Amino acid sequence: MAAVQMRGYVLTSAAAYIKETAGQERAAKLLARLSPHLRRSLETVKPAGWCTAEDLSELYRAVASLTEGDEDRTRESLIECGRYTAREASNTFLRILMKLLTPTMFAKKLPDFWARDCTGGKIEVELKDDMLRNRLTDMKGLEHIGPVAVGYVKFALEAMGKSVTQTKLYDWSLANPGPDNCSFEIFWKT
C-alpha cells in the first residue's frame, strides 16, 4: 500500500497559518526546527503537487505546539488552520460558487473533494436539517486531521452564508492526535 499523500496547497497553507498567527520571530524559530525533509518540501511543493502525510503531520504538530499543551486551545487553533487552508484554496471564482452551493449539494460533493486532495482515507457525510455530520475513516498517520477538517468544512458552510453555532469533534485528543477514525458535527442557524 502506498503512503498517503495530500495536495501541496494544504502543506503550504499550514505553514502560512503559522507565520500569520505566531508572529515573525516565533514562527521563524518554529519553522527552523522542522525536519530537513519538511523544510525542503515547503520550498519545492506545488499547490497541485503532493506532499506526504508525515510532512503534513509534522507541520500540524507545529501548529499544535503554538498553544503549549492546552487541548481546547489546540483544537481551536487547528480548526482555524483548517479554515485558513480552505480560505486560501478558494479563489474568487470558487468563493462565488460557494455562495451558490447549498449544504445538501456540499454534503454530496465533499467525499469527491477529499478524494481529489488526498490519496488515502475517506470522508462520509450525513446532513440533518441544520447539522452536518462527518466521519473520517482510515486516517492512520494523518495527525490532527480531525480538527483541521472541522475548520475546512466550517469555512465552506460560512462561505454559503450559514452562521455556524457549534462544532463537536469526537475521537481526537492531544493524547491521540491521529486516530484511524474520527468524526465531527457542525451546527448552524437555519
Could you give the C-alpha distances from 65 to 31, 96, 141, 149, in angstroms and in order? 12, 35, 18, 18
Domain spans, the chain: 5-77, 88-188
Give the pLDDT of the chain (190 residues) as one tens digit per residue.
468 899 999 999 999 999 999 999 999 999 999 999 999 999 999 999 999 999 999 999 999 999 989 999 999 999 999 999 999 888 766 677 777 889 999 999 999 999 999 999 999 999 999 999 999 999 988 999 999 999 999 999 999 999 999 999 999 999 999 999 999 999 999 7
Sheet holding 131-137, edge to edge: 122-128, 131-137, 182-188, 164-170
Q: Are 50 and 9 in contact (CB under 8 A)?
A: no
Decide: helix, strand or coil at residue 118. Answer: strand
Please tell me the pTM assigned to this model: 0.95
